[in-house]
């Protein structure tokens, strides 16, 4: 085992917060819109 220390989890969280800030997306919300999907290929159109 190589024991380095880099708090990846913390860097990741800050990275995500930063990306959310520059893209104008909320970091955490209570809901988001469903993703539209095409009708299942196994179901009749």
Reading the block at residue 4, the tokens are 């380095």
Binding of another protein by 6 (CB under 8 A) = yes
User: What distance in Å separates the CA atoms of residue 36 and residue 34, rounded to the nearest whole number?
Assistant: 6
Binding of another protein by 10 (CB under 8 A) = yes
Residues 16 and 27: beta-carbon distance below 8 Å: yes
Residue with tokens 């990306």: 19
CB of 30 to another protein, least distance (A): 5
Binding of another protein by 12 (CB under 8 A) = yes
Q: What does the binding site for another protein look like in residue numbers (CB under 8 A)?
A: 1-13, 15-17, 26-32, 34-42
């Amino acid at each position: 085992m190589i024991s380095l220390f880099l708090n990846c989890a913390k860097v990741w969280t800050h990275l995500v917060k930063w990306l959310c800030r520059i893209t104008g997306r909320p970091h955490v919300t209570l809901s988001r819109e469903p993703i539209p999907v095409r009708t299942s290929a196994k179901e009749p159109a």
